[in-house]
Amino acid sequence: MILEKVDIPGENLGDLRDKEELRDRAQKILARKWGAEANTTNNRMELSAAVAALSALNLDPKPEKVRVFTDSQYLQKGISQWISRWKKNGWKTASKDTVKNKDLWEKLDLLNISMAVEWHWVKGHDGNKYNELCDQMTQEAIVSLTKEGPGGL
């Protein structure tokens, strides 16, 4: 995960002409963190990173606005589209299966509700500086598991 303080004029990302303009307005990277778990899934790690990032921002006072950029449609659509239906249906999917990673979705939902979060999907492996950096950190995390043996860090 990468936490970054960004000064962006206006309320709409549409005000920005391209990704380069967003990068140019970045003021400061606040934190770079990665973690690893053995025997997990990509979706679970995507959720864990979002929970960790929002938890780090869950301060008093809370930020006025938080923008989360992810290349995971599972994460972006899950929190912004599917979660209200899951909760309404007792944490069951449309096919009546139990929602996977419910524990993390519940944590993320509480954090999402507690602050104004906008969720944005970005195409992976498309030259986005921070997405590429996250991918690099992911590879480092995977390597750390093999160096540390079963159980990882």
The residue ranking higher by pLDDT, 14 or 144, is 144
Q: Which two tokens stand for residue 43?
A: 């979706």
Taking only the tens place, the pLDDT of each residue in 81-131 is: 999 999 999 999 999 999 999 999 999 999 999 888 999 898 888 888 878
Write down the domain spans for the chain: 2-148
pLDDT digits (tens, 9 = 90+) for 32-57: 666 777 788 889 989 998 998 888 88
Residue indicated by tokens 């860090």: 153
Region 3-15: mean pLDDT is 48
The CATH number assigned to the domain with range 2-148 reads 3.30.420.10
Cβ proximity of 102 and 91 under 8 Å: yes
* pLDDT band of 1, cuts 50, 70, 90: low
SS3 121: strand
126 versus 18: which is more confidently predicted? 126
